[in-house]
Amino acid sequence: MHTGSYIDGKWFHPKSNRLVRNLNPADPDEVIAEFPAATADDVNHAIDTAQAAFRSWKKTPGPERGRVLWRAADIARQRADEIARTLTREEGKVLKEAKGEVMKGISLLEYYAGEGFRMHGKTLPSEARDTFTYTIRRPLGVVGLIAPWNFPWAIPVWKSAPALAAGNCVVFKPAELTPATSTLLTEIYEQAGLPPGVFNMLVGSGSVVGEAIVHSPVLRAISFTGSNEVGGALYAKAAQRGAKVTCEMGGKNAVIVMADADLDKAAVAIHGGAFGSTGQRCTATSRVIAHPSAKDALLERLVDAAKRIKIGSGLDDTVDMGPAVDEKQWTTDLDYIKIGQQEGARLILGGKKPEHLGKGYFVEPTIFDGVTPAMRIFREEIFGPVLSVSTASNLEEALAFANGVEYGLTTSIFTENIDMIMNFVEEVETGMVHVNEPTIGGEAQLPFGGSKATGVGEREMAEEGLNFFTELKTVFINYSGKAERLMIR
C-alpha cells in the first residue's frame, strides 16, 4: 500500500512536518501506516495538473470513460478481500459489513460505467419554424471531493465515479482517519487506465487540504460529506465564489412503529439500523417512536437482540459490532449516554465500555426508554450505538415527533394500514422514506440525500449524482436560412 499522496499519475511523499497516523480503533497501539500530510502547495499543484488533464479527458468519448470505470469495477472485485480487510482495520466495522460496503462501491462503479454510454439531454420542440432545439450535458472542469471516514470506500466511489464519467478531473481529499482504503481506490483507478492528472488524491487535514480546495477559484464544484459544522462553513465559502456545492451532513433518523406492526420484523430492522456499523452512519436508526400498545413488546425484542451482540475486533468473524472509529467519537458516545441519564431517560441496556476488550474504543449497544422530544439524545446526532425509544399515541403525534428535529435524511414506518402509509409518505420531512424496512440502505440507481439541515445541493448517486457534475447547454439550430425568431428575451 502506498503511504503518500497521488498527483499527475505519480505517488509521492509531501515535504511536510506533519504525519497522519493511521490507527486500528480496535487496538489503538497498532499503527497501520503513516502518511506525510499534504500542503496547500501540493493542493494547488494537483489542481494545476487536473486542469491540464481536463483538456484531453473532456474530449474522451463517454463510452471510453465508462470502460475505465468498468475495468476499475473488475479490479476492485479481484481485490475485494484486501479492500475489506483494510477498511475494517482502519475504520473498525466488522468484516462482513466491510465486504458489503466494497460490493456497494463496485455496484456504483458498474452503474456509472453504463452512464458513460447514457449521458443525454433532451430534444424539445421550438416555437420558431425550421428550428431544431435540444440540450446536452457537458463536464464542469476540475472538481473537489471531500469524503468522510465512516464509508471510506463507498462514498469516495459514489462521488468520484459520476464526476469521472461526466468528463471532469478530480482533486480528492479522503478523511484523515481512513486514508488507506482511499489509497486502494486510487491504485485501482490507476490500474484501470485512468490518465495521469485526471484523479488526484491528497491526504491531509481539513484546515490545510480542505481549505485549499474550498478556496480555489479553479474548482467548479465541491462535493462534501461530513458534519454540519464543517459542511455549513464550506458551503458558505464555496458558494460565495460561485462554485456548485453539494453537502451531505447529519441525520437523526426515526422508525415509527404503529399498533398493527409486525413487531418481529420491526425489531430486526431497528436492531440492524441502530447497531450495524456501530451506529456510525448517517442513515442509522437512532430513534424509535412506538404506539403505546406495541412499545413494551417491541422493547423486549430489541433488548433481547442487543444482549446477544458480540463486541470486538471487526477482523474476528464471530464479532457482531466493532469499535467507535477513534477516541473522540468514543468519548462523544459516552458523553451522550451520561446526558441521557441526566435528562431523565431510563437506561435499559448498555451505556459502558466493555472492560475486557482492553484499549479499543468500544461502547456497549445502548438503549434508552422514556425519551421525550425535549431531550438532547432525541434531537442531536450521536453517531454511535445509542437508541432512544419514545411513545406516540397516533400517526399525527408520531409524525410531529419524527419531524421535530433539524435533520431530514431518512425515516421508516411499520404498519399494514395503507392509509397510514400514504399519509406518512406525504407528511414525513425526509429525503428518503422506507415502509416496513430499515432506515439504512441505498442503491446505485436511486437518488441518495436529505432535506432540512441534512443536505444542501443536489442528491448523490443515480442520474442526479451525475447531473451535479455537469452543466446543461441549450442548442438552437435554424436550418431554413431565415432567422424569424420572436425576440422574447
pLDDT of the residue at 487: 53
Render pLDDT for 243-284 as a digit per residue (tens, 0 to 9). Answer: 999 999 999 999 999 999 999 999 999 999 999 999 999 999
pLDDT of the residue at 485: 56
Distance CA 422, CA 426 (A): 6
Contact indicator for 392, 398 with CB cutoff of 8 Å: yes
pLDDT of the residue at 484: 61
- Please report which confidence band the pLDDT of residue 357 belongs to, taking 50, 70 and 90 as the band edges: confident
Q: Is the pLDDT of residue 483 over 70?
A: no
Q: Which residue pairs, CB below 8 angstroms and at least 24 apart, start in 271-276? A: 271/302, 271/305, 271/306, 272/438, 272/440, 273/412, 273/438, 273/439, 273/440, 274/365, 274/385, 274/386, 274/387, 275/306, 275/309, 275/320, 275/321, 275/365, 275/385, 275/387, 276/97, 276/321, 276/440
For the residues 420-448, what does the mean pLDDT come to?
Answer: 96
Render pLDDT for 3-12 as a digit per residue (tens, 0 to 9). Answer: 999 999 999 9
Residues 162, 42, 208, 141: is their CA dihedral positive or negative? Answer: negative
Known catalytic residue at 282: yes
Cell of 335: 458523553
Which helix (H) or strand (E) is 27 found in, with range? Answer: strand 27-36
Render pLDDT for 129-183 as a digit per residue (tens, 0 to 9). Answer: 999 999 999 999 999 999 999 999 999 999 999 999 999 999 999 999 999 999 9
Compute φ and ψ for 320, nearest 5 degrees: -100, -25
Strand pairing partners for 347? Answer: 368
Angle formed at CA 211 by CA 206 and CA 217, multiple of 5 degrees: 150
Render pLDDT for 404-416 as a digit per residue (tens, 0 to 9). Answer: 999 999 999 999 9
Render pLDDT for 16-70 as a digit per residue (tens, 0 to 9). Answer: 889 999 999 999 999 999 999 999 999 999 999 999 999 999 999 999 999 999 9
pLDDT of the residue at 17: 85
Strand segments (E) across 140-269:
142-146, 169-173, 199-201, 221-225, 244-248, 253-257
Mean pLDDT, the chain, rounded, equals 96
Q: Which domains does the chain have, with CATH numbers?
A: 5-249+454-474 (3.40.605.10), 253-435 (3.40.309.10)
- The pTM (predicted TM-score) of the whole model is 0.95
Compute φ and ψ for 413, nearest 5 degrees: -130, 145
pLDDT of the residue at 229: 93
Give me the catalytic one of 97, 101, 176, 248.
248
pLDDT of the residue at 68: 98
Distance CA 395, CA 369 (A): 19
pLDDT of the residue at 321: 98
The owner of cell 476492485 is 76
- Please report which confidence band the pLDDT of residue 298 belongs to, taking 50, 70 and 90 as the band edges: very high
Share of residues in the chain with pLDDT > 90 (%) = 95
Q: Which residues, 6 or more positions from 453, have their beta carbon under 8 angstroms from its beta carbon?
A: 228, 249, 250, 406, 407, 408
pLDDT of the residue at 407: 98
pLDDT of the residue at 480: 83
Give me the catalytic one of 101, 282, 364, 460.
282
Expressed in angstroms, the distance from the first to the final Cα of the chain is 57
Known catalytic residue at 110: no
Q: Which residues, 6 or more positions from 289, have their beta carbon under 8 angstroms from its beta carbon?
A: 254, 255, 256, 257, 390, 391, 392, 398, 401, 402
pLDDT of the residue at 23: 95
